[in-house]
Amino acid sequence: MKHRQPLPPDMFDELCPSSLVPFRFGDKWAALILRCLEGGPRRFSELRVPLHRVTPKVLTQSLRRLERDGLVSRAVHADPRPGVEYALTPLGRSMLEPMDAACAWAAEHWDELIDAREQYTAP
């Protein structure tokens, strides 16, 4: 009872937007950044505290990518005090849900993944 269902001739026609999945969910710091912005707009220097393990250059790169894809907005302020504020756009906020699902899965199966890696020996 194998090979029950036939496969489509081209998986890309079937699930084309799935190319966005590795692209957006593959960003190494995106999940962390989005979560930092969940509670409201933050300045660059504010983000650097919880993300102090990310160098400013890399943090900027990630923010730029998120901005480019419309997930995060960037606003330069001068009024209260000069600074730049990043915030989630509605689109960015909508991504929190599938991202949470992914994080929950990762947290739940963390041990299994680590174990599998340790037991694995290259062919």
Partner DNA sequence: CAGAATCCGTTTAGATACTG
Partner DNA sequence: CAGTATCTAAACGGATTCTG
Summarize as ranges the residues that interact with DNA (CB under 7 A).
22-23, 27-29, 43-46, 54-58, 60-65, 74, 82-85, 123
- Residue 25 partner contact from a second copy, DNA, none using kind-dependent CB cut-offs of 5 to 8 Å: a second copy
- Residue 79 partner contact from a second copy, DNA, none using kind-dependent CB cut-offs of 5 to 8 Å: none
DSSP codes of every residue in 4-61: -SPPPS-HHHHSGGGGHHHHHHT-TTHHHHHHHHTTS-EEHHHHHTTTTTS-HHHHHH
**Cα dihedral 90, 91, 95, 97 sign:** positive
Which parts of 80-109 interact with a second copy (CB under 8 A)? 91, 94-95, 97-99, 101-107, 109
Distance in Å, CB of 88 to a second copy, minimum: 13
- Residue 24 binds a second copy, judged by CB under 8 A: yes
Nearer to a second copy, 55 or 101 (CB): 101
CA angle 123, 26, 102 (to 5 degrees): 95
* DSSP character at residue 70: T
